[in-house]
Amino acid sequence: MLCQNRQHRLTEVPVLTSHFLSELISFLDGLPEPRIVMSADYRIIAANAAYTREFGGGRELAGRACYEVSHRFNVPCDQAGESCPLKLSLEAGEPQRVLHLHHTPRGEEHVLVETSPIRDETGEIAYFVETMRLVRQASSRVATSGLVGRSAAFSSMLEKMMRVAPSDAAVLLLGETGTGKELVAHAIHEASAREEGPFVAVDCAGMTETLFEAELFGYEKGAFTGATHRKQGLVEAASGGTLFLDEIGELPLSLQVKLLRLLETGTYRRVGGLDWLPADFRLITATHRDLAAMVAAESFRRDLYFRINTFPIRTPALHERSSDIPLLAESLLARVDRKPGRHFTAAALGWLAAQRFSGNIRELRNLIERASLLADGDAIDVTHLLEMTDPPLYLPVEPGGAAGFQVDALIDLETLERRYLKWSRQIHGGDMEALARQLGISTRTLYRKLERVN
């Protein structure tokens, strides 16, 4: 491993002699953030007190492999399908950041890992300093508030959120309804330097011209009939914090001009006022619409689109992260249930994971709330969920489905199985265990197969 590194001779990387290595280690020990020094063969040379406490549970870590401590892997991360920041920074010759799920004494947690390379006396990159920052805005375990998720689609979104959060760049959140855009906007705010400032959310849907101006910019006393006192606008309320404009795609063209003026000049005027006031907010916008198509159709201004779209982030639909459904379901149950400590049966979690929720997490949350009201005992089962399911959750009936299963052309066996499963799920009446028995397979296999049906 070390011989391969001989090609890396980079002047910008600091040099580390053996004398300074021990100095570096004692220096890191005094720093509050968890840090380790590693050799190029993934061995931990030293861990500071914060790392030993937060990631090592107080145990000695020197000599152990980083991938074994943080992932319980027995091969380096990149050989186990994960990105390896050490390898990336060795190749690039400069610091690299990645988001990983790390084992900690508290369970798995999202961690931002920054790895910086260091040269030895001979000029080779031989050491690395790794700094860990726990991502407090998202949980990979059941949580009673905030974002939860651990799937690849969720982690990739979270990584983008954490990259953009510290900057003041305008973020555009694109995603279907109910995918958590408002929660994501709030998490970006919380991870930003404006965290102590206000987070002000504005729904742009249904905004009329007068309402928009009065709401956003406020008004002076006497500006119009009924304006009996000066009123602060939402732009002013968001001062020092974040302004979140939800459903930006619903804003009529006439109001898009006003918003553009605010963003371009950084100033605004209260309705009925004379003075231009400075605005101080970080902008996050969101829409479920295809804004680029709206620009092409000239129903959304191109210049405004470029202004708000400095950094786009897509919030994945629930079917793109169905492996998160059990975790989301448990977390949502803890949030909506009036009787604490209840749980889903394994069959209920499997059933939920096999559904396709067109209304995404909001629809899942509604279903869980209804089922929790229906269930009397400690466990919520498939029957409670089925009774409370909206008809659109079921997939459309295949041609001939209601009457009986039929195919009218030669099709491959895999498609045949999928269609048959879809049809049998629609007609069997909801008892998945009974259906599995009738099909001669285990309930587990049935759920696995049904995942492919959606």
**Residues in Cβ contact with 324 at an 8 Å cutoff, skipping those fewer than 6 apart:** 148, 149, 150, 151, 154, 318
**Which of 365, 384, 419, 422 forms a contact with ligand ATP (CB under 6 A)?**
365
Question: 383 to 442, contacts with ligand ATP by CB under 6 A?
Answer: none
Residues 72-111: x where in contact with ligand ATP by CB under 6 A, - otherwise, as a string: ----------------------------------------
Q: Please state the length of the chain.
A: 454
Nearest to ligand ATP of 56, 178 (CB atom): 178
- Tell the residue number behind the tokens 């920074």, with chain if given: 89
b (16+ CB within 10 A) / e for 111-126: bbbbbbbbbbeeebbb
Minimum separation from the CB atom of position 364 to ligand ATP (A): 8
Nearest to ligand ATP of 1, 205 (CB atom): 205
- Measured from each CB, the residue nearest to ligand ATP is 180
**Which of 70, 137, 331, 355 forms a contact with ligand ATP (CB under 6 A)?**
331
Nearest to ligand ATP of 174, 234 (CB atom): 174
**Which of 56, 85, 117, 180 forms a contact with ligand ATP (CB under 6 A)?**
180
Minimum separation from the CB atom of position 146 to ligand ATP (A): 7
Residue 321 as a binder of ligand ATP (CB under 6 A): the answer is no
Minimum separation from the CB atom of position 381 to ligand ATP (A): 22
**Which of 35, 288, 384, 425 forms a contact with ligand ATP (CB under 6 A)?**
288
Minimum separation from the CB atom of position 222 to ligand ATP (A): 36
Nearest to ligand ATP of 33, 182 (CB atom): 182
- Tell me the three-class secondary structure of the chain, residue by residue: CCHHHHHCCCCCCCECCHHHHHHHHHHHHCCCCCEEEEECCCEEEEECHHHHHHCCCCCCCCCCEHHHHHHCCCCCHHHHCCCCHHHHHHHHCCCEEEEEEEEECCEEEEEEEEEEEEECCCCCEEEEEEEEEECCCEECCCCCCCEECCCHHHHHHHHHHHHHCCCCCCEEEECCCCCCHHHHHHHHHHCCCCCCCCEEEEECCCCCHHHHHHHHHEECCCCCCCCCCCEECHHHHCCCEEEEEECHHHCCHHHHHHHHHHHHHCEECCECCCCCEECCEEEEEEECCCHHHHHHCCCCCHHHHHHHCCEEEECCCHHHHHHHHHHHHHHHHHHHCCCCCCEECHHHHHHHHCCCCCCHHHHHHHHHHHHHHHCCCCEECHHHHHHHCCHHHCCCCCCCCCCCCCCCCCCCHHHHHHHHHHHHHHHCCCCHHHHHHHHCCCHHHHHHHHHHHC
Residue 282 as a binder of ligand ATP (CB under 6 A): the answer is no
Minimum separation from the CB atom of position 149 to ligand ATP (A): 5
Residue 149 as a binder of ligand ATP (CB under 6 A): the answer is yes
Single out the segment in contact with ligand ATP by CB under 6 A; choices: 90-98, 118-126, 180-188, 298-306: 180-188
Residue 322 as a binder of ligand ATP (CB under 6 A): the answer is no
Inter-residue contact 180 to 313 (CB < 8 Å): no
The count of C-alpha atoms lying within 13 angstroms of the C-alpha of 289, restricted to the half-sphere facing its C-beta, is: 19
**Which of 71, 110, 181, 270 forms a contact with ligand ATP (CB under 6 A)?**
181
Minimum separation from the CB atom of position 102 to ligand ATP (A): 19
Nearest to ligand ATP of 56, 149 (CB atom): 149
Single out the segment in contact with ligand ATP by CB under 6 A; choices: 178-186, 339-347, 401-409, 424-432: 178-186
Question: 156 to 175, contacts with ligand ATP by CB under 6 A?
Answer: 175
**Which of 38, 46, 66, 148 forms a contact with ligand ATP (CB under 6 A)?**
148
**Residues in Cβ contact with 32 at an 8 Å cutoff, skipping those fewer than 6 apart:** 50
Single out the segment in contact with ligand ATP by CB under 6 A; choices: 49-57, 251-259, 347-355, 357-365: 357-365
Residue 352 as a binder of ligand ATP (CB under 6 A): the answer is no
Single out the segment in contact with ligand ATP by CB under 6 A; choices: 5-13, 31-39, 90-98, 360-368: 360-368
Residue 102 and residue 120: Cα distance in Å, rounded? 29
Residue 362 as a binder of ligand ATP (CB under 6 A): the answer is yes
Residue 183 as a binder of ligand ATP (CB under 6 A): the answer is yes
Nearest to ligand ATP of 309, 358 (CB atom): 358
**Which of 83, 116, 151, 177 forms a contact with ligand ATP (CB under 6 A)?**
177
Residues in touch with ligand ATP (CB under 6 A): 147-149, 175, 177-183, 246, 288, 328, 331, 361-362, 365
